[in-house]
């Protein structure tokens, strides 16, 4: 499913591009060599772009954040909790890809810094985690540290709506492919800013993919 959706995404972009070039024929099948070349090119650009954006986050961490927020898992935990709200610890483990012991150590550090609070409910063995006001403020700083730079990149590449809207459709398709067979968007969206994602009635692509997976299961 992921490969098929990614193929559609890249092909959609390539077709939109070549349709605007006079005298260029659009390939009709996946066996066309230019289609295969487009897939390879698009995948390579996506890898490079992901690495570049990760580097922006690492650079911000070195200059803007002190322990425990100098580690990406700590930053992701706070941004996740800031939009998800009170969350059981096992869900945080799953979203961050951590073992139980590693998640406990992470939550210990965040609580010691006053960024989260933990509690239990009667007859529920799970630990529940809530972000504190200090943690909410830190989450906003984490998002702001890189969002401005990334938004500037998008704005420079897509300066008008005629280019932006089709590009967003392709990005959303790729995000849906990346969600795979998940039924909970927390892992993909752990570092997201929902107010930006959902502005002006836009839909979260990961949430759409998860809803479709839930309906199909």
Q: State the Cα–Cα distance between residues 195 and 101, nearest whole angstrom.
A: 32
pLDDT, residue 55, reads: 86
Taking a C-beta distance cutoff of 8 angstroms, is the pair 145, 139 a contact?
no
Strands (E), 15-162: 87-88, 116-119, 128-131
Q: State the Cα–Cα distance between residues 47 and 160, nearest whole angstrom.
A: 25
88 against 17, higher pLDDT: 88
HEC letters along 148-207? HHHHHHHHHHCCCHHHHHHHHHHHHHHHHHHHCCCCCCCCCCCCCCHHHHCHHHCCCHHH
What value does the mean pLDDT of the chain take?
87
Taking the complete model, does pTM exceed 0.75, yes or no? yes
Q: Over the stretch 113-162, which tens digit does the pLDDT of each residue have?
A: 999 999 998 888 899 999 999 999 999 999 998 888 889 889 999 999 99
pLDDT class of 58 with cuts at 50, 70, 90: confident
- Residue 3 above 70 pLDDT? no
pLDDT, residue 30, reads: 61
- Residue 78 above 60 pLDDT? yes
Taking a C-beta distance cutoff of 8 angstroms, is the pair 182, 209 a contact?
yes
Half-sphere exposure of 204 (CA within 13 A, CB side): 18
193: left (phi over 0), alpha (psi -120 to 50) or beta: beta
Beta bridge partners of 128: 88, 119
57 against 169, higher pLDDT: 169
- Residue 12 above 60 pLDDT? no
Instruction: Identify the weakest region by mean pLDDT among 45-49, 62-66, 69-73, 164-168.
Output: 62-66
Instruction: Identify the weakest region by mean pLDDT among 46-60, 84-98, 117-131, 154-168.
Output: 46-60
Q: Burial of 135 by CB count in 10 Å (0-12 exposed, 13-18 middle, 19+ buried)?
A: buried
pLDDT class of 20 with cuts at 50, 70, 90: very low
Beta bridge partners of 118: 129
- DSSP, collapsed to helix, strand or coil, labels residue 119 as strand
- Residue 28 above 80 pLDDT? no
- Residue 167 above 90 pLDDT? yes
pLDDT, residue 27, reads: 53
């Amino acid at each position: 499913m992921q490969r098929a959706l990614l193929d559609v995404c890249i092909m959609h972009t390539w077709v939109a591009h070549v349709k605007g070039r006079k005298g260029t024929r659009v390939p009709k099948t996946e066996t066309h060599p230019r289609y295969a070349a487009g897939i390879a090119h698009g995948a390579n650009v996506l890898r490079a772009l992901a690495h570049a954006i990760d580097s922006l986050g690492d650079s911000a961490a070195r200059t803007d954040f002190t322990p425990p927020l100098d580690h990406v898992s700590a930053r992701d935990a706070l941004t996740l909790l800031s939009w998800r709200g009170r969350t059981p610890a096992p869900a945080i483990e799953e979203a961050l890809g951590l073992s139980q012991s590693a998640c406990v150590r992470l939550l210990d550090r965040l609580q010691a810094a006053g960024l989260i609070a933990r509690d239990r409910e009667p007859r529920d063995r799970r630990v529940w985690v809530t972000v504190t006001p200090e943690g909410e403020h830190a989450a906003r700083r984490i998002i702001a540290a890189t969002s401005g730079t990334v938004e500037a990149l998008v704005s420079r590449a897509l300066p008008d709506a005629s280019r932006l809207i089709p590009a967003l459709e392709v990005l959303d398709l790729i995000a849906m492919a990346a969600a795979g067979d998940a039924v909970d968007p927390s892992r993909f969206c752990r570092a997201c800013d929902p107010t930006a994602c959902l502005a002006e009635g836009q839909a979260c692509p990961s949430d759409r993919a998860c809803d479709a997976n839930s309906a199909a299961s």
